[in-house]
Chains A and B, each alone.
Chain A
C-alpha cells in the first residue's frame, strides 16, 4: 500500500492525536467514581475524538488506493467520519451548556432545540450512501464534495461556535466563570479547522485533542475544589481563594456563614436557590457553608439573609422532625483591613 506524502502527514498527526487521547483517558484516575453529567459528557468527547482520529487515519490511508474492497470501505469510513464529527461537536455544545448552567432541565431543552440540524445532517449522510448527494467517492478513492457537503461543514463549524455565544450570554447575565474557559479549547480547534479549510492538510483531530487536554486540566482543577456530596465548592477552594487574595487577584468585601443545627442538606438546597450568581458559595464543613461576595452593598446582603432565613423558617415549619435550625453570621471587610483579613478569618473559623 503506497500512501501519498501529503496523506502520510495527516495520518501521522491523527496517530499522535489518538495516542494523546488514549494516554489521557488511561492515566487519569480522576474519572473513577465520577458519575456526573459533565464527567460523562467529557468521556464521550474523548472517545469521539479518538474515533475521529482513527476514522481519519482509515480515510486518508485509502486515498489514492486501488483495492477491490476499497470503494465500500471508503464510503463507510468517510460517512462514519462525518457522523462522528457531527456527534462530537454536538456533545461539545451540550457539555458547555451543562458546565455553564449545571441544569439537566435546561440541557434537555438545549438538546431538543439543537438536535434538528444534527438529525438532518445524519439523514443526509445516510441518503448519501445510495445517492451521492453529499459527496462521491472517485475511482482513486478520493472524494468530491457537493454544495451540501459545504453546508454540512458549515453546520459542524456552527456547532463548534455555538458555545462561544453561550458563554458570552452567560457572562452578560453577570455570572462568574470559575475554572472553565472556552478559549483554550476553541483556539486550537478553530486553528485546526482553518488549516483544514485553507491547506490540503488536515489537523482537525490534533486541534480537537489539544483542546480536550486543556478541558481536562480545567475539569480536574474544578474537581479538586468540588464537594462531591453537594456540588458546591469545598474547603480547599476557600484556601485557594485566600491565595488568590494574597496574590492581589481577588478581593472580597462581605462574607456570610450559615450553620445548620439540624438538616444540612436542606440548608445547601436553600443556599443554591437563593445565592446570587456572582457569589462564591463554599461548604466548609458537614453542616456549614460560607458565602463570599466581591462587591454589592450591605443592604443587598441583608436582603439575602432575610430570604435565606424565610426559606429556612418555611422549611422548619413544614418539617417538625427535620428542622434546619439556621444560624447566620455576617462579616464585612473594613477599609483599613488588609485585603486577606476576611478570608483569613473564615479559614481560621473552619480549621
Chain B
C-alpha cells in the first residue's frame, strides 16, 4: 500500500474517511444551493449557516483524528482546541436546526425572531461549560502520548442537543413527517452503527446527510414556490 497506515488507529482512519466524505458532501451542497442563498429568505440563510457550521465540525473532527497519537509538538493542545471547536459547532448546529425548522414550519420570520432568545438558552448555557473545559479538562482531555480520553462530565454536552432534538422533532412534524423518519433512522444508525464500528465518529457526516434530505424536500417544491414547473 502506498500509505503506511500501520500504527494508526482504525477509529482515527475511519473518522478521517467519514469527515472527508462530509466535507465533500458539504462543499458540493454549498455550490448547488447557491441560488437559494441568492434568494435570501430567512430559511435559506439559516440553511447556509448550518452548512458552514457542519463544515467547521467536519474539519475539526478530521483534524483531531489526524493529530491523535501524533508526535507533532503541541498536538495535544491542538486536539483540545479542535475538539472544543467541534463541540461548539455540534451544539450550534442543533440550535440553528431548531431555528430553521421554526422558520420552515411557520413561514414567518417575525415568529422565528421572537422565539430566538428562547431557543438560544440551551446553547448559551452550554458555551461556558465547553469553554471551561479548556483549563478544567472535565469534558475531554489528552494524555502525554496525545491520545484522546472522554472526561467524567462528557455526557453534559448532549443535554442541549437533546432539548433541541425534542423541539426539532415537534417542528419537523409540521413540515414533513418523512423528514422525522429519515433523520431518526440516521441517528439510530449513528448510535448503533457507531457502536458496531467501535467508536468511529461520523456526526458531521450524519448532519450532512440530514442537510441533503432537507435540500431534497426543499427541491420537491418549486424554486419560486410554484407547484411544478411547466
Contacts and interface: CB of A to CB of B under 8 A. Distances in A.
B10 A8 contact: yes
A199 B24 CA distance: 19
A227 interface: yes
A226 B196 contact: no
B212 interface: yes
A220 interface: yes
Given A15-B193, A203-B17, A236-B223, A213 B178 contact: no
Contacts of A27: 178-179, 182, 213, 216-217, 220
Given A23-B213, A214-B28, A234-B230, A203 B21 contact: yes
B198 A8 contact: yes
Interface in B1-22: 1-3, 5, 10, 13-14, 17-18, 20-21
Interface centre among A30, A210, A247 (most CB of B within 10 A): A210
A113 B163 CA distance: 58
B191 interface: no
A198 B196 contact: no
Contact of A226 (B13, B200, B229): B229
B101 to A, nearest CB: 16
Given A15-B189, A198-B3, A216-B216, A210 B38 contact: no
Given A12-B193, A26-B178, A201-B13, A19 B209 contact: yes
Given A16-B209, A23-B182, A223-B229, A218 B18 contact: no
A20 interface: yes
Nearest to A197: B2
A77 to B, nearest CB: 19
Interface SS of chain A: helix
A29 B220 contact: yes
Given A12-B196, A28-B220, A19 B189 contact: yes
A200 B14 contact: no
Given A19-B189, A199-B3, A210-B28, A217 B219 contact: yes
Contact of A198 (B1, B17, B223): B1
A351 B229 CA distance: 15
A9 B24 contact: no
